[in-house]
Amino acid sequence: AAKAERRGSCRAFEASMDEAAQEKNQLEQDFRVAISGGELEVHYQPLVNLSTGEVECYEALLRWNHPRRGLVPPDVFVPLAEEMGAIDQIGRFVLFEACKEAAGWPEHIKIAVNVSPLQFRNGKLLSTVINALSTSGLSAERLELEITEAVLMEKGPRTAAIIRNLRAFGIGISLDDFGTGYSSLSYLLNYPFTKIKIDKAFILNLHREANSRAVIRAVIGLGKSLGLTVAAEGIEREFERDYLRDEGCTQGQGYLFGKPGHARTLAISGAGTA
């Protein structure tokens, strides 16, 4: 009986694997349609100066408006795109969209775009970025690229060279989600970062964990002494903003200041959104 039961649960397992595989297949198919069919859109979330409250930058965050499933989050479809070999195409789309949009904003407002580690692999990132800048007319100083440690773990001299070249053009380089990975301090010394973004996990726990506050203070101190802008993500409450500001954090991002929204919903004075 035990054997039969095992066989049964094995079949159930296989069936559910099958279902999962089919589901994923379907999602992949849908995603190909999404890329060509205009179901992808870029939303924008403000980063504000914590001392003045002024918006200094918007981060471009990709959204997939699925006709049946509704909004599919990037944590789901970005890995899917990476697996399908579609991340370059998508990365290019976000860069061109975001630069075009930002070119209509007041000069002092920057645009931040997330870049996947895989976009560093085929050697085309630099030319894609330069192309997006020249097509949109946006100056390089107004563009920031957000990368995670996963990019730096690619090792290889090419990754470092690409980052240096981007920086040499005047483009800002932010280290995203800082504190969650290996957070090797040597990264901060060996790459020309202009900004560190403290991961939202630390801000979430700020109110109840002395350890989170210790990490936050240490990262702010480190960033400041290296001459970097220090930003914190995931700020939802006033006391989090106050704490970060008082500790010397430069910029804040989070629902307290604004959720990611479509370009036409942004209240940017003097913005020429089409």
Contact between 231 and 251 under an 8 Å Cβ cutoff? The reply is: yes
- Contact code string over 52-91 relative to ligand C2E, x by CB under 6 A: ---------xx----------xxx--x-------------
Report in angstroms how near the CB of residue 18 gets to ligand C2E at its nearest.
29
Taking CB within 5 to 8 Å according to partner kind, which of Mg ion, ligand C2E, none is near residue 61? ligand C2E
Span 53-112, contacts to Mg ion by CB under 5 A: none
- Quick one: which of 50, 86, 94, 109 contacts ligand C2E (CB under 6 A)? 94
For residue 49 the two structure tokens come to 């100066």
Which one, 8 or 53, has the nearer CB to ligand C2E? 53
**Parallel/antiparallel/unpaired status of strands 55-66 and 70-72:** antiparallel
Ramachandran quadrant class, 106 (left: phi over 0; alpha: psi -120 to 50; beta: rest): beta
Which one, 195 or 200, has the nearer CB to ligand C2E? 200
Report the C-alpha gap between 145 and 167 in whole angstroms: 10
Looking at the chain, which runs of residues are DSSP E strands? 40-49, 55-66, 70-72, 110-114, 143-147, 172-178, 195-198, 229-232, 251-252, 261-262
Which one, 248 or 261, has the nearer CB to ligand C2E? 261
Nearest to 171 by CA among 149, 197, 202, 143: 143
Binding of ligand C2E by 260 (CB under 6 A): yes
Binding of Mg ion by 177 (CB under 5 A): yes
Give the footprint of ligand C2E on this chain (CB under 6 A).
45, 61-62, 73-75, 78, 94, 114-116, 146, 176-177, 200, 233-236, 253-255, 260
